[in-house]
Amino acid sequence: MLNQSQSISLKTSEAAAVILLLLAGIGYGMIKLELMPHIPVLMGIGSLIIYGLLRKIKMAELEQSMVEGAKAGLGAVMIFFFIGMLVSSWIAAGTIPTLIYIAFDLVTGKWFYAIVFIVTSVIGLSIGSSLTTSAVIGVAFMAVSESLGFSLAITAGAVVSGAFLGDKMSPLSDTTVLASATVKVDLFEHIKNMSWTTIPAFFISLVMFAALSPELGSADFTKLGSLQDTLLETNLVNWYSLIPLAIIAILAVRKVSSILTLGAGTLSAMIISMMVVPQNEWGGLPGILYSGYVSESGNEQLDSLLSRGGLESMYFSVSLVLLALSMGGLLFKLGVLPALLRGLASGLEKVPVLVGSTALSAIGINFLIGEQYLSILITGNTFAGHFEKAGLHPKNLSRVLEDAGTVLNPLVPWSVCGVFLSSVLGVSTMDYVPFAFFCLLSPLLTLAAGFTGITLSKTGKNAVA
């Protein structure tokens, strides 16, 4: 998508008008009409095509721009498919049931949401993947929350907050590496500098989750004990069922590619599932990779928690991602996004304006394209020279890219992360957004740093207050 050439040159005001109308239409369709997000996005694509034809752009060029846009998401699509297979195989092998059993043990009389936030933060930091953390550990906590009748929206907010905190600060994370590499900053210097905004956001979020956590009564613990007993009866809770998790952790630490790591986790789980599932059922194991695992424990609540996963479960997410990225390709071809970036790049002599414009650019690209990698790449390349001219160290820019780019993606309903998380957690993006405290606080704190100058590092050259 970055290599596309725009067919027309727009004024910033015209580009802004197009974007406002587009976002208003999508927002109205999703919020007011409560349509599935695919339909408003498709209508947005249709509107952009009509606009392009009215501006004398050939339909063949518009079609090619959509193809180029969709290509940017093929890597994410493959990861979606592999995670779908991972989830179903991990249920069959007992990995997720065992984690759910352990999660039940972690639940105390209070602080449930805070515990979810802390655990997902640690796991996300350890493996460097917010999506994997959410799909495995997050699913376990969602199961606990549902069984106790707690708020699924707040639980999902805690899962998303923790997973993306860990992802953002992990040296194993692809977005962390990408942000530092884009602006040519040492990886660990970049991570250290992010702590200025991450640590306050962590503690504020922790306090808010603790304050929202409900008290558990004796009846709740009886219910937990009953579900744990049912889990044990399924023969899905075993120490060796955690081997696939250990394999993924080891490969992640060794920086093996995501596809190979997820593939190894799935393959190991399929092997272990042969130790869990009776031999006469082995023939049906490969089929769960497509259609997902179906639990038949006899406990309706437990069956609803464990019947999930498979390639088929990812089709909703994949189709929406491809549509959103196709729309992004059209926005590039029509010159809308380049015009907006040019408008933001003017008048950046003052540091507060520079930081604010950079954050706005990263946030805007997440909303317009729905892809966090592009929000990092496009924004980083656009503003790197301006940060240098202002005398600011590049690590300030890489921090803004993560605070306003990486962690904002799960808050966009049609984004890559947004559609994935709503699918695996079973909660709509709009429902968990108000409770994704860490993701909401990060851009606010990075803007505060930009406007006050606190924690901003200067290079000593052409520094501007």
Residue pLDDT, tens place only, 89-108: 988 898 888 877 877 777 66
DSSP H or E segment with residue 444 = helix 437-452
Nearest to 104 by CA among 12, 6, 295, 232: 232
Residues 39 and 175 in one domain: no
Tell me what the mean pLDDT of segment 162-166 comes to. 91
Answer whether residue 345 is part of any domain.
Answer: yes
Q: Which of 314, 342, 358 is the last residue of a domain?
A: 314
Residue that is written with structure tokens 């060796």 in the block: 240
Residues 178 and 256 in one domain: yes
Residues 257 and 376 in one domain: no
The token pair at 389 is 């001219």
Q: Point out which residues pair with 461 in neighbouring strands.
A: none
Answer whether residue 183 is part of any domain.
Answer: yes
Residues 264 and 147 in one domain: yes
Length of the chain: 465
Residue 462: predicted pLDDT: 43
Asked whether 167 and 406 are in contact (CB, 8 A), the reply is yes
Q: Which of 256, 285, 314 is the last residue of a domain?
A: 314
What are the tens digits of pLDDT across the range 398-446? 999 999 988 999 998 888 788 889 988 889 999 999 999 999 999 999 9
Answer whether residue 254 is part of any domain.
Answer: yes
Displacement of CA 233 from its chain's centroid (Å): 35
∠ CA 279-285-288, rounded to 5°: 155
Residues 328 and 394 in one domain: yes
Residue 403: predicted pLDDT: 92
Residues 224 and 361 in one domain: no
Average pLDDT, the chain: 82
Tell me what the mean pLDDT of segment 68-87 comes to. 79
CA distance 33 to 142: 28
SS3 state of residue 392: strand
Answer whether residue 282 is part of any domain.
Answer: yes
Sequence-distant (≥ 6) Cβ neighbours of residue 52 within 8 angstroms? 7, 61, 62, 330, 333, 334
Q: Which of 314, 344, 360 is the last residue of a domain?
A: 314
What are the tens digits of pLDDT across the range 23-37? 788 778 876 777 777
Find the domain containing 89 and state its range: 75-314
Residues 202 and 268 in one domain: yes
Answer whether residue 178 is part of any domain.
Answer: yes
Asked whether 119 and 162 are in contact (CB, 8 A), the reply is yes
Instruction: Report which DSSP code applies to 237.
Output: -
